[in-house]
């Protein structure tokens, strides 16, 4: 007989079944932080759709997420830059699950490049993935999220609070994501829809920390007041809270989950 891992909730502080019967739609859910958030929400009872460009990775992640959580995870290939593709992904979600309660807009592009070495197309590509992709995802999901009085989480960053070298494209894109979420919160609040942003600090084992965090003075563990980098679980647990009823009056906020590292950066 094969060994079956017991399914445990992601958090000890929230009841196991708080998201029972809920459906999550997550762009960028095939890997990293967004996969971690999806796992946590599924561990609390939700089914999920993960959306991304790489079908192989999505299928592998969906199988893993279903096995770990005992819920259903549907992988759907789509590029958030193209409205038709994201609309089709939403249609597949409705066909499979009949509704959408929660949306994570997490698909993002990133690389390090100075302004002097960045092409117009390079700048545009990241704006299209992060900002236009967020807009396209909101447009395609909103009628369904209104119907359930659901909730959005957008994944941003802290790098645009100050000038972060080699990140002009991402800084501009993420500032626009923050602004978009705030407008969504205000416009859709009367329909019972909430919208918030999670701005992760350096998270161990992710693209952001491993490949993209600028090196040099003020970086590294010395810039971490908590004495550690963040863990994907730190972001995942924040997502559980934001989607839960415990956050029912929390909307239009940008929440930095960074162990206060942004405060210490401002002192340097
Ligand atoms: C300079 C680059 C480049 C690089 C791409 N471009 N990589 N320019 N340096 N390293 C330019 C290309 O030359 C081209 O412009 C344009 O960008 C589009 O490139 P393509 O490869 O044709 O586009 P595409 O395949 O659609 O996407 C490229 C990509 C994507 C955006 C780089 O593959 C990608 O994002 N990969 C990484 C995904 C990732 O890491 N996601 C996690 C983000 S974490 P020209 O002019 O030549 O046509 C995150 C956290 C932020 O966002 C916090 C960090 C601290």
Give domain status of residue 195, yes or no. yes
Q: What is the structure's pLDDT at 3?
A: 47
Q: What is the CATH number of the domain that holds 223?
A: 3.40.50.720
Report the pLDDT averaged over residues 63-70: 97
Report the pLDDT averaged over residues 188-199: 98
User: What's the whole-model pTM score?
Assistant: 0.94
Give domain status of residue 199, yes or no. yes
Q: What is the structure's pLDDT at 1?
A: 36
Give domain status of residue 58, yes or no. yes
pLDDT at 34 over 60: yes
Give domain status of residue 208, yes or no. yes
Residue span of the structural domain in which 51 resides: 23-266
CA of 183 to the centre of ligand 1 (A): 27
Number of folded domains in the chain? 1
pLDDT at 157 over 70: yes
Catalytic residue among 10, 31, 61, 156: 156
Residue pLDDT, tens place only, 85-142: 999 999 999 999 999 999 999 999 999 999 999 999 999 999 999 999 999 999 999 9
Q: What is the structure's pLDDT at 205?
A: 86
Residues in contact with ligand 1 (CB, 6 Å cut-off): 108-111, 113, 118-119, 121-122, 125-126, 157, 159, 170, 207-208, 212-213
Give domain status of residue 256, yes or no. yes
Give domain status of residue 45, yes or no. yes
Give domain status of residue 5, yes or no. no
Write out the DSSP string of the chain.
----PPP--S-SSS-TTTTTT-EEEEETTTSHHHHHHHHHHHHTT-EEEEEES-HHHHHHHHHHHHHHHSS-EEEEE--TTSHHHHHHHHHHHHHHHS---EEEE-------B-GGG--HHHHHHHHIIIIIHHHHHHHHHHHHHHHHT-EEEEE--SGGGS--TTBHHHHHHHHHHHHHHHHHHHHHGGGT-EEEEEEE--BTTSHIIIIISPPSTT-SGGG-TTSS-B-HHHHHHHHHHHHSGGGTT--S-EEEESTTHHHHHHT-
Give domain status of residue 15, yes or no. no
């Amino acid at each position: 007989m094969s060994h079956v891992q017991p399914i445990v909730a992601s958090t000890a502080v929230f009841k196991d079944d708080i998201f029972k019967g809920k459906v999550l739609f997550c762009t960028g859910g095939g890997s990293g932080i967004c996969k971690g958030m999806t796992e946590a929400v599924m561990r609390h009872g939700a089914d999920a759709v993960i959306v991304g460009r790489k079908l192989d990775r999505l299928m592998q992640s969906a199988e893993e997420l279903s096995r770990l959580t005992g819920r259903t995870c549907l992988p759907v290939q789509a590029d958030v830059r193209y409205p038709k593709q994201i609309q089709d992904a939403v249609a597949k979600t409705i066909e499979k699950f009949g509704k959408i309660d929660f949306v994570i807009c997490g698909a993002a592009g990133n690389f390090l490049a100075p302004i002097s070495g960045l092409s117009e197309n390079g700048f545009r590509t990241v704006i299209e993935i992060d900002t236009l992709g967020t807009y396209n995802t909101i447009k395609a999901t909103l009628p369904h999220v209104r119907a359930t009085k659901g909730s959005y989480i957008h994944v941003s960053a802290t790098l645009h609070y100050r000038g972060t070298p080699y990140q002009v494209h991402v800084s501009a894109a993420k500032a626009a994501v923050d602004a978009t979420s705030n407008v969504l919160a205000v416009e859709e609040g009367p329909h019972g829809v909430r919208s918030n942003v999670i701005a992760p600090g350096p998270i161990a084992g992710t693209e952001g920390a491993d490949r993209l965090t600028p090196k040099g003075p003020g970086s590294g563990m010395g810039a971490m007041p908590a004495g550690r980098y963040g863990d994907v679980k730190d972001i995942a647990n924040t997502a559980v809270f934001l989607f839960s009823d415990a956050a029912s009056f929390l909307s239009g906020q940008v929440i930095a989950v960074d162990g206060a590292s942004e405060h210490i950066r401002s002192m340097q």
